Structure 1
């Protein structure tokens, strides 16, 4: 049961709570031109060890506003009382870091059925398949969820997923000129969480998959993303695509714990992931009206007296998560001092590779 039952005076606003002891931030359906095209009414997403490190930070970076489902951003489980947001990918060079990573990823998967039960009750949702999204370590959670088949999944979009801790550690060794210091337990755990070795199990779930990588990513190189795509296709996956952006690993500015204006890279990734989910989960039509799309798939025009519903703003997300509000940016720009490589809100050329549904 949820330890913090949310109060929902207005489902047009984000809400926060806990489900099976895991903190979450839920963004309600507010797409004005789309409604669910199937049974999926919920997308669950996890942050990573790198920015964005928390549910509110990931919600600000990837709000997926145009998808007519609830989008629920879950915190990674705390490890030995230490929140996962206090870690970073550099910890993967140590045995303690690998064990913390493994515990967070495996606990997130093991607790998902109980978390979903609480979320469905809190949000008034019925049973049915879900969508998955994840960044970095959160992408590993989504892949392991598919591999283990703990819940039915329709579609999953993964941004720079850590496919194998050993591969990530190898990249970190090259970048930092440090060697990993793993004991036997950490080595065995890393082998168990090599999700490339579980490609057959992932493919067997028959969920549509989108893998997103960055050309400047030094933790999860783009070649690893395309290699996973090709491996999944060889193992029988029917719908796997990949997309590559000119970006590094992080999807938000440091420290990556608060809801902050999205970077240029995050805006572009959010646009592509949103469109990808809409193609698979939504019926899109400008004739649906300008009202809020509710969890049961109806628009605000179907409800007497219902007015137009605006997209969630950054202050909405910050307020729901208990953080300080911030004015939404006129145009999202990089927050980490890097040069802007194009207009934040303009279309970015993206070439999908792989199989389409």
Structure 2
């Protein structure tokens, strides 16, 4: 999709703006205190589970009490960028090879398209040099992590919800749950290596030791999500000069998703999402200044 140049109309206070930036669909919400160049900016990527679009994710985690820009970016192969054939085709691709057809391409494309999209948004909304935070849910957290570790932007803090921390563990756990075996190839193993941020933990230090909040559901899969999140917390606490910049919270009763199905359109916030939202706002307010 070609880049879209839209009028640079400055939004009114708290008025959300939707559009497309360098081919990436987005929703941008101004800071609670009004648009200004010094305000922090938080960039967020949704899940492929509910909420599975930028609009649905913005409703689940609005972060309304945060005096920062909140910019929700749509993932490839989701929402307005579903493949021809829609959800049925997406499911077919996943059953054929979830790693090579979905997880790998979605993360890679989202990371590659981020710099141009964010540069477009910086110009359009006059984003200045304020601190930057990253937020992601599940595969969106994997995108946020790659943006962080590859230093596509200098981020001060991140909030990772039901995060995909180690792809191999998550895929193998899903295979066990649904009664099949995923056969790892050399190509899919290379993707898994890239998406194993426990093994790459030293890169967090190289990225400036950003403050990281990991939020997992008490009812989420242990081997696929809760154990990898705990492993990352312990590894970063060993590496960081200040181990209070790493936190893991378990949300009582929550599974993997943050919204009710179908998770495409904005929906009332669940009590689990409200708790994650509260934790995210507190963390980002503390670490974005």
Scaled by the length of structure 1, what TM-score is found?
0.71
Structure 1 position 4, deviation (Å): 3.7
**Displacement of 1:94:** 4.5
CA–CA distance in structure 2, aligned partners of residues 94 and 182 of structure 1: 13
2:276 aligns with 269
Gaps of 5+ in 1: 283-357
- Is 2:286 the partner of 1:279? yes
- Match 1:223 to one of 227, 243, 249: 227
Change (3 A) 1:201 1:164: same
| Structure 2 CA distance for aligned equivalents of residues 161 and 76 of structure 1 | 15
Contact 1:165/1:190 (<8 A) preserved? yes
Q: CA offset at residue 100 of structure 1? A: 2.2
- The structure with the larger Rg is 1
Query: Structure 1 40/104 Cα, relative in aligned 2: closer, same or farther at 3 Å?
Result: farther
- More divergent stretch after superposition (69-78 vs 83-92): 83-92
Q: Distance in 2 between matches of 1:45 and 1:90?
A: 27
Q: Hey, what's the Cα distance between the residues in 2 that align with 1:197 and 1:61?
A: 31
> In the aligned structure 1, how far is the partner of 2:286 from the partner of 2:237?
20
Partner of 1:59: 58
Q: What's the RMSD between the two structures over aligned residues?
A: 2.8
8 Å contact kept, 2:13–2:33: no
Question: Which structure carries more helix by proportion?
Answer: 2
CA distance in 2, matches of 1:70, 1:224: 30
SS at match of 1:256: coil
SS in 2 for 1:197: coil
Structural mapping, 1:1-357, within 5 Å: 2-5=4-7, 7-8=9-10, 10-30=12-32, 41-78=40-77, 83=82, 86=87, 94-205=96-207, 206-218=209-221, 220-236=224-240, 238=242, 239-246=245-252, 247-282=254-289
Following the alignment from structure 2 to structure 1, what is the Cα–Cα distance between the partners of residues 241 and 100?
29
For 1:221 and 1:10, the matched residues in 2 are separated by 39
Q: How many angstroms apart in 1 are the aligned matches of 2:241 and 2:145?
A: 13
What residue is the counterpart of 1:295 in the other structure?
none
Question: Aligned pair in 2 of structure 1 residues 244, 19: CA closer, same or farther (>3 Å)?
Answer: same
